[in-house]
Amino acid sequence: MSKPVLILGATLALLATPAFADEPIAVSLQNHRFTPATIHVKAGVPTVIALTNNDDAAEEFDSSSLKVEKVVAGHSSGNVRLRPLAPGRYPFMGEYHSETAQGVVIAE
Ligand SMILES: [Cu+2]
């Protein structure tokens, strides 16, 4: 039984002290489109998206699967904090211009 206990202990230690990904991921908005629109993150690690909105209008980074809503004013920047994610695809959109402002976070 000693091995499984050790593995469980190591897993709990990892969960207790989540390390942030090395640096924020820069994403910009222009003409109501995200660049990049496909964002790769490490699974299991909290991540910060540094969103720069170059448009005149405010936009809301919105994702039900990521459980995130973050409004960024026009010509402003804001950080979108992502919880540790299981591997998978997490669509997001700009709620105010969802016809064009669409993207996906891929955790792997
Ligand atoms: Cu919303």
- What separation in Å is there between the alpha carbon of 69 and the centre of ligand 1? 6
Rounded distance between C-alpha atoms, residue 54 and residue 82, angstroms: 22
Give the pLDDT confidence of 11-57 residue by residue, as tens digits. Answer: 555 554 455 567 899 999 999 999 999 999 999 999 999 999 999 99
Which residues are within 8 A (CB) of 12 and not within 5 positions of it... i.e. 6 or more apart?
none
Query: pTM, whole model, 2 decimals?
Result: 0.79
Give me ligand 1 centre to Cα 62, in Å. Answer: 5
In the numeric block, which tokens belong to residue 77?
A: 């920047």
Q: Is the omega angle on the peptide bond into residue 87 within 30 degrees of 0, that is, cis? A: no
Report pLDDT digits (tens) over 65-108: 999 999 999 999 999 999 999 999 999 999 999 999 999 999 99
Ligand 1 centroid, distance to 63 Cα (angstroms): 8
Contact 82, 65 (CB under 8 A): no
Q: Tell how far the Cα of 96 is from the centroid of ligand 1, in angstroms.
A: 9
**Are residues 101 and 94 in contact, defined by beta-carbon separation less than 8 angstroms?**
yes
**Residue 17 CA, ligand 1 centroid: distance in Å:** 30
